[in-house]
Chain A
Amino acid sequence: MIRTLAVGILLAIAAYSQHAASYDSDRKVTLKGTVTRIDWVNPHAYFYINLKDAAGTTENWAVEFGNPLDLEKDGWKPSSLHLGDVVTVEGIPARGPEKRALANSVTVLGTGKKLFTAFAPRRAASGSQPAPRWPDGRVRLGAPPGKKGYWGAPSTTALVETTAAKIPMSRDGLLVNLAHADKIAPFLPWAKAVYEYRQRTLLRDDPITRCLPPGGPRAFQMPNGFQFIEQKDLGRILVLLGGGDRNWRVIYTDGRKQGEADEVVRGYYGNSVGKWEGDTLVVDSIGFNEHFWMTAGGLPHTEALHLTERISRPDFNTLKYEVTVDDPRTYTRPWSGGWTVQWVPDQEIQEYFCEENAEATFVR
C-alpha cells in the first residue's frame, strides 16, 4: 500500500514537473468565475471562466486541470462540469502576463462539490517480483507476454553527478541556491556560465518548451514515460518515448561497431550501439546535435558528447539507469549520474503530442 501510494505520488510529481516551465509554483492564485468554455482535449484539458478584476473589468482566464485520459480513469467526464457553473479555482498562475492557471482544486459553488482532484495517484505496481526474462534467460526490459505496461515516474528529473551531495532543487531542475552549481557537474568555465544563465532565467529557453525532442538522458526522465520494444530478430531495441514529440530512439544490438564521431549524422538521440554485460544493457552513444538540453535544469553539451548508459532491471518494478557523460569541450572530466524508474503496470503510454500544447514562444 505504501509502495502504491509512493509510486502514485511520484507519477503525480512527474506530471506536475512537466508544467514547471509554464507555471510559477512560487505563486498561488484563487479565481472565482463562471465557466464559459470547456476543452476536454488531450493532452491537457482546459476550461475558461469569466471573472471580474479589481476594477470591475471582465477577464477570461484559461484553467488547465489535467490530462483527460487520466481524468476519465479517475471517473471524471466532460459532463462533470457545465457551462454557466460558478466555480472557485485554487491553483498556480502562468509565468508572465498570461491569464492562465494550473488548477490544484476546482469547487462548484452552491453544491460545494470538488471536481478534478489534481493528479490523483495512478494504480502502481504492488509487491516486488523478479524481473521477467526471455526464454534464453536474458532480462526483459519491456512487458512480459500477455501483459502491458511502461516505465514512468523517474526518481529524479535532473541529472547531477553521483558524487554530489543531495542538492536542493525543484523537479524541473531549478536550484534552490545557485551557488550549488559547482556541485552539479565538473563544468568548464563557459559551461558553468551558460548553466547559471539558464538557471537565472528560469529555464525559459529550454528547447523542450518548443517541442524539440528530449535528447540524451532526458528521454528517460520525461513525465509521460517510455517503453522498450526489444526486436531481437532485428538486432535492435526501440525506445518509445511518451514525452517530447512521442518519438523513438534506436539502440542497435546486432554487434555493429560504433561509428566515427566525425562521420555520423548528428541527431537528438545520437548513434547508439548496445551490448549486454550480464543483466545490464550497456549503450554507447555519440553523434548528438546541440539543439537540446540533455536534462532538465539546463546542462549544456557540445557535439563531442559521448554517453555510456547502463540500463538494468533489478526487479520487475524497477529500472536502474546510469549514465557517464564524456564531453571534454564542456566538462573537465567524464562524470556519472543516474536514477531509477518505476514500472507502470497494465497501461500503455498515452497519446501525447507536444505541438497540441505548444507555448506561444514555439516560434519567435
Chain B
Amino acid sequence: MRFSLNCRLVGLIVALALGCLAQQGHPLTGTWSGDWGATATQRHQVTLVLNWDGKNVTGLINPGPDAIPIKSVTVDVSTWTIRIQADGISAEGKLEDLGSYHRTITGAWQQGTVKGDFKITRD
C-alpha cells in the first residue's frame, strides 16, 4: 500500500516536472497525442511526431510498425492553421494556446472516406 502510494507520488512529481519543461522552439516540434473519429463515441487514438528542420515540418503518424509517413505539413502562421497530408489521411486544424505547455490542435480529419474531427495535445 505504502509502495503504491509512493509510486503514485513519484509519478505525480515526474508529471509535474515534465509539465514545466515546455518546448519553446518551433511550436509544432514534438510528440502529439489524441484521437479522431466520425462521432463522439467512435474514436481512434492517434499519435503524431513532428519536427521542424528549418525548411519543413516532417514526421510520422502513429510511429511503430504501422507508422504512416507524413507527406507534407503546411502552416499558416498568421492564423496557426495546420494542414497535414499523409497516405490516405488529410487533416486541417488550428493550433491553440500557443504558449501553453500542452497546446492543442483541433480540426477536421479525413481517413479514407471517413470524415471526422480530431484533437491532439502536445505531450
Contacts and interface: CB of A to CB of B under 8 A. Distances in A.
Contact of B23 (A204, A212, A290, A330): A290
B25 A363 contact: no
Contacts of A276: none
A292 B24 contact: yes
Nearest to B75: A190
Contacts of B52: 190, 302, 329
Contacts of A290: 23-25, 29
Given A201-B99, A329-B52, A329-B54, A207 B22 contact: yes
B16 A328 contact: no
A164 B43 CA distance: 51
B11 interface: no
Contacts of A303: 25
Interface residues of B, number: 22
Interface stretch (A86-94, A192-200, A312-320): A192-200
Contacts of B101: 364
A192 B77 CA distance: 9
Interface in A292-321: 292-293, 300-304
A78 interface: no
A210 B25 contact: no
B42 interface: no
A330 B99 CA distance: 17
A190 B29 CA distance: 12
Contacts of A192: 77
B61 to A, nearest CB: 21
A66 B21 CA distance: 30
B24 A300 contact: yes
- State the main secondary structure of chain B at its contact with A: loop
Contact of B19 (A197, A205, A363): A363
A215 to B, nearest CB: 10
Contacts of B53: 329
B26 interface: yes
A235 interface: no
A329 B23 contact: no
- Give the residue among B22, B99, B100 with the most A Cβ atoms within 10 A: B99
- Give the residue among B16, B21, B75, B78 with the most A Cβ atoms within 10 A: B21
A193 B99 CA distance: 12
Contacts of B22: 205, 207, 291
20 contacts: A192-B77, A193-B80, A194-B27, A197-B98, A204-B99, A205-B99, A205-B100, A207-B20, A207-B22, A290-B23, A293-B24, A300-B24, A300-B25, A301-B25, A302-B25, A302-B26, A302-B52, A303-B25, A328-B54, A329-B53
Report, nearest first, the 7 A-B pairs whose CB atoms are least far apart: A205-B99, A290-B25, A329-B54, A193-B77, A302-B25, A290-B23, A363-B16
Interface of B: 16, 19-27, 29, 52-54, 75, 77-78, 80, 98-101
Interface of A: 189-190, 192-194, 197-198, 201, 204-205, 207, 210, 212, 290-293, 300-304, 328-330, 362-364
Given A193-B78, A193-B80, 9 more contacts: A190-B27, A192-B77, A207-B24, A290-B24, A290-B25, A291-B23, A301-B24, A302-B25, A364-B19
